[in-house]
Amino acid sequence: MKILIVTQNFPPDIGGASIRLSGYAKYLNEFGHKVTVLCSNPIYPRGKIFEGYTNKWFQKEEKDGYTIIRTWIWPVKPKSHAILRILSYCSFTVSACIRSLKLEKPDIIISATPSFFASLISIFYKKLKNVKIILDITDVWPDAALATGFMKKNLFFWLAKKIELWIYRDVDNLTCGSIGIKRELLKNQWLENKITIIPDAADLELFPLNLNSDSVIKEYNLENKFIVGFAGLLGFAQQPTIIAHVAKKLEPYQDIKFLIVGTGGLKNDFENLAKEWKLNNIIFAGEKPRNIIANYINAFDVGLSTLANKDFLRNSVPAKIFEYLACGLPIVINLKSVAWDIVNEAKAGVLANEDDATDLANKILYLYNHKSEALKMGENGRAYALENYDRKKIVEKLEKVIVATLNTH
């Protein structure tokens, strides 16, 4: 089959959605399909073009056997006004629609969220070429934008809601990342027969157990330290500044260090708070290439996942959860959510109270003081990931949805 994946964000863009879609492209190609990805030039979450790229109208690259076609986007910073961000989305929509006219007609399109602008490109192409669409939803947009403060309940929001429902009606099938997202979607009961859960997963080939992380430990002088690690986006949904409050409470424990890997819209706020409080137990490693991120995660003794206390985020499962599971880490999470349900079912971690830095610190101390129990949690998590969240097996499920969608008249 010829499969076109349409998404704004794709690696080296950071975030769970781009990781998920790169897994789709990689394994669908391995399964013998011809895969093309239509995406923007990479800017997320920096708000500027990544090194090694220029913001050309169109550029093409080959990766792991599939083709990536990137198109122009107007870069804006994560904290920019909502109108500027919408204009940025629209810039990609226009350039991608133009470039799509020259694409070989696919058998099916996988159109990805967050944001529905990629879906507008897909529907444009569907109307033009009569191609079926699977809409892959990792966040229910625009509700996700509202929950994280990117959008307010104004005219733009209600217009976005109308467009959202129009898109749902016009696509042929929907896939979503978790039972929580499916529950949100089923507020529109007429969608029930359209939705299949394709959970997020771990790239077990990329995250082998017990990978040697000596170089990371040596680089940051972390020999004989208990490393509490955070790897991923430092954005509004993750509420990373709470980690500074936790680190402050754990200052007396000289051998507990926080290693923060990643970037995002609140990274500067987090760093500034750490500097203001003169916290020497937090190390900001910055953003790291995807192909070496496993070296950093394997250096952690504990994997930390923080989420802002927003009802909408209870349906989210951060990609880092699966990476921590794959690396055999005990996990500390601070929001009772679908993500916690996975960690709890795996017997792979502990839950802290929401918005409670003291309890979050106490949960870290519990694992610090019960290392054999923490080790067992990590073993449980690795086994659970192997059984339930191997990305290759998950993409096999997606392949079945693709075949079923093509066979539906």
Q: What is the mean pLDDT of the chain?
A: 91
pLDDT at 38: 97
The answer to whether residues 166 and 233 belong to one domain is no
The answer to whether residues 258 and 112 belong to one domain is no
Mention every residue, 6+ apart, whose C-beta is less than 8 A from residue 284.
Answer: 260, 267, 270, 271, 274
Tell me the pTM.
Answer: 0.88
Q: Hey, is 16 helix, strand or coil?
A: helix
Q: Tens digit of pLDDT for each residue in 153-188?
A: 777 777 877 888 888 899 999 999 888 888 888 888
Q: Hey, is 122 helix, strand or coil?
A: helix
pLDDT at 409: 65
The answer to whether residues 159 and 297 belong to one domain is no
Confidence of residue 151 (pLDDT cuts 50, 70, 90): low
pLDDT at 279: 96
pLDDT at 311: 83
The answer to whether residues 128 and 258 belong to one domain is no
Mean pLDDT of the region 292-320: 91
The answer to whether residues 376 and 399 belong to one domain is no
pLDDT at 146: 66
pLDDT at 265: 84
The answer to whether residues 254 and 347 belong to one domain is yes
Q: Is the pLDDT of residue 339 over 80?
A: yes
Residue 252: give the domain boundaries.
Answer: 214-388
Q: Tell me the CATH number at 296.
A: 3.40.50.2000
Q: Choose from 66-80, 109-123, 125-139, 356-370 the range with maximum mean pLDDT.
A: 356-370
Confidence of residue 209 (pLDDT cuts 50, 70, 90): confident
pLDDT at 305: 96
The answer to whether residues 81 and 137 belong to one domain is yes
Sheet containing 349-351: order of strands: 282-286, 256-261, 226-231, 302-305, 331-333, 349-351
Q: CA 5, CA 15: separation in Å to the nearest integer?
A: 17
Mean pLDDT of the region 295-324: 91
Contact indicator for 77, 45 with CB cutoff of 8 Å: no
Mean pLDDT of the region 252-259: 96
Is 69 among the domain residues?
Answer: yes
Taking alpha carbons only, the member of 333, 368, 361, 363 closest to residue 247 is: 361
Q: Hey, is 162 helix, strand or coil?
A: helix
Total domains present in the chain: 2
pLDDT at 152: 73
The answer to whether residues 380 and 394 belong to one domain is no
